[in-house]
Amino acid sequence: MSKSDCEKYWAKLIGQANVLLTGASDAELRVQLFDTMQEFFEGSNCWMENINFTVVPDGLEYTLIPLTGRIERLLCVVDQNNTPQQAVMPEIGTVRFLYPYNNPQSMTATVVKNVTDPFGCYPPNIPDWFLPKYGNGLLSGLLGYMMLQPGQSYSNQTLASFHLSRFRGVLAHARSATMRANTVGSQAWAFPQSFRVTGQRGGVSTFNVHPAVLR
């Protein structure tokens, strides 16, 4: 999607918010919009990025730098054979392996991301597909949280509850769609560590001779 198309979606969202939130300042809308997006990405895990890096002998920790946004959590790490490896992220942005490797090899970490820099970056750097897909849900969240504020010209507890219920419904849908990799009819599935079919021999991931049977 082109930059002009993205700007049209932003203009549509802000225009609708201005019409329904008479008297709200642009500063208020920007702050609440950022908080609403932050909640959406945090709860849905829908914004992800694959980050490639190279492990070195005896190294356990590796810093990941996303192209945009900030890292929220680690989803998985796979080797060059697309085999899951045992890794955690005790400190946000740093992958830590449970066991060291003896030989250098390429790895790919998949991370969940969130928005960053609420005041210095507007519109926020988010994926092009987000507003066309979830823009109406984001608008509902923005309206709901703005209307929830007391003593404003646009305060409305009843409408706030309606919009927030709709927002959380879209968020739940986004979380479910992400778990199914945006496919229709597929089963949500995460790779269980108890079913690992590879190990580390001499620091290089290798296939087990007798892999466990997946059911």
Which has the closest alpha carbon to 197: 189, 185, 209, 188? Answer: 209
pTM comes to 0.82
Query: For residue 50, what is the enclosing H or E element?
Result: strand 48-55
* 14-54 pLDDT tens trace: 999 999 999 999 889 999 999 999 999 999 999 999 999 99
Range of the domain at 28: 3-45+126-179
Same-domain pairing of 105 and 130: no
* 101-133 pLDDT tens trace: 999 999 999 999 999 977 666 778 899 999 999
Q: Are 21 and 143 in contact (CB under 8 A)?
A: yes
Q: In angstroms, rounded to a whole number, what is the distance separating the alpha carbons of residues 203 and 6? A: 45
Q: Is residue 142 part of a domain?
A: yes
| Domain count along the chain | 2
> Is the predicted pLDDT of residue 197 greater than 70, yes or no?
no
Same-domain pairing of 60 and 96: yes
